[in-house]
Structure 1
């Protein structure tokens, strides 16, 4: 039971991470000229290309940023321990469409049963990372959703709160008095550091609104990070921000691509839509899996394909 609760906490936090990360990447180009050396050092540290996967097999050609073609990103939240490659306990697919100024965000349940591409077996989708790292995760999710995955971002789950701290914390408008994880959150405008922001976003069961209330708090944190990231006071702290990013994030996005995203896609984060994947729990040979029906997979595929403007 504790393991299930811990997994749910990570999933809720990664929803915040995925949008916030997009904002940081999009904002990167705005700083580039004044903090070039610090930025390039951080990006070079984060940049980890995937061998033998320069472009998705489901793409006819590379993305033309100047033409504002939609793109996709696989977000992997990973806990890695000494002697253990870890598993991607949380997987989120982002599709970004600058024409509609929108981002779709799909959470994939970690227990989802599917073909593991490159392993020739059927297993839980999050096991792909343990078997073959980022590449196998991308290939497996791409096959499962039947859409191209253009980029990935791997995040150290335990270290992301350092990013919140690096911008000096965030201010949120709290509409529910509650306590969680040893922190008390009164109604009104409150300022949160990284650890407090984590607890603020985690609480679910004590909220009479359930997921709706939790999503409201997530949006408040997202907006708080956006506000701090856009302020001059935060720009003066760029070295700390870049250090936190470089220590906790890996991506195949290059410095040039980040600048192109900033230039042509920065308004896309104005509208973020969270998508849910419905599954049915089932035990097979004593192992619990989440079974996604063909109809549900088709529904999700159609929505993401349309958002990516694929023929």
Structure 2
């Protein structure tokens, strides 16, 4: 016997909890499919915070020196953060023009500001390539705790790092709330709220930094093991933002449809995405990241040991 109402289906004798879990899985996969995400990618994104944390904790138990290195500056996790920030910047800027052509000036302005902000953050992540090219710290950076050419490590009464940590939490909570509101609520598919909302499968990625900052309130400041996990939490947030910006990029792409003999600019329908269009941007970001990472050991500089005014 099958009973249906409000678009839902319930089978007599079925286990409610199991049906509910199956329904959530299907909803998650369907939501991601509207943005061209396959089932495997969807669940990889959903479980990424937990699986990556498990790998890090296992390495901390078995290979503690390798764990410390992996989360240290100029090592894989930070370079992955840099690549994520740079790719977010590129995709955001690539989305500005189609957003304008689609009659969404506010969204285009936010994308432009977002692209510039993430370019700045990418530069800050690697101290504006100081340890890549080995240039001396410019004058005026005497208050930098690392004696490097970045702004987020200044210690002069105003703490930019504290502001940055607060923004991370705001972004994490804001993107999670936007995903739940626009993806689960009654929001039109062509609404700007729906376009800007990340897929539901990315919510764990955004909540990771929120959970990390909350638990950090109860962890002693000198507990370095927990402090190093900050790099992992930030990486998760950047991964979520990367997925979100890719979805925005696809959503604002124009589609030409014959309407009364004329072409109409509309949102691209739920169709298979040509991921090759993003391949050049991804390759450029990957090449820049690899080249910078390979040059860094030969610059003669290490974190906190930059020559110049800061020493």
Q: TM-score interval w.r.t. the shorter chain?
A: under 0.3
**What TM-score do the two structures reach when normalised by structure 1?**
0.27
Structure with larger Rg: 2
Higher helix share goes to which structure? 2
